[in-house]
Amino acid sequence: KAGVTQTPRYLIKTRGQQVTLSCSPISGHRSVSWYQQTPGQGLQFLFEYFSETQRNKGNFPGRFSGRQFSNSRSEMNVSTLELGDSALYLCASSPALGDEQYFGPGTRLTVT
Amino acid sequence: GQNIDQPTEMTATEGAIVQINCTYQTSGFNGLFWYQQHAGEAPTFLSYNVLDGLEEKGRFSSFLSRSKGYSYLLLKELQMKDSASYLCALYNFNKFYFGSGTKLNVKP
């Protein structure tokens, strides 16, 4: 089976812009979670989707949003980018809620 | 959060055994997971404990004691490629909570 894929792998944006990141889960996996990883804060949970529904959301401002499509692919959007949004954004898929997660390679976002 | 604590960094010698501890302050969680993350790469799943006790997977074993609020990851016959960060994570209230990770340095 192919692993979790994320696009793009690298992205450079300026403050105030918005960005959309994409994630394709492992075939058959219905749960997709998103994380932000920074050296200082470690892995921080953004949100989890299951069957096109957001099941839970982390402590991030409303500028961070996401969605899941019927084929389980997911996107996350960050609007009005700030310098502090520079991070590695990881997507993980799992067969069901609470199962072990399989991570994609991540999207490295740099905001200048 | 779930107040998950792990040592920041550890050093061990190739061929040795190392134990990486993870303590937490919560109860009633669904499961405890361990992940390995090499520098510049994504985390990869290593092990999962639901019940108390030891789960063995080759050179890696993970132990959970819910009553004592801790888990550990045991790595045997250390190899240089085991140099990585090891993340402990809890699944609770429909969320994964990750510790900050333990950076393991394996030296010859």
HEC sequence for chain A:
CCCCEEECCEEEECCCCCEEEEEECCCCCCEEEEEEEECCCEEEEEEEEECCEEEEECCCCCCEEEEECCCCCEEEEECCCCHHHCEEEEEEEECCCCCCCEECCCEEEEEC
Q: Which residues of B touch A46 (CB under 8 A)?
A: none
Chain A residues touching B87 at Cβ < 8 A:
42-43
- pLDDT digit string (tens) for A62-97? 999 999 999 999 999 999 999 999 999 999 999 988
pLDDT band at residue A39 using 50, 70 and 90 as cut-offs: confident
CB contact under 8 A, A43 and B43: yes
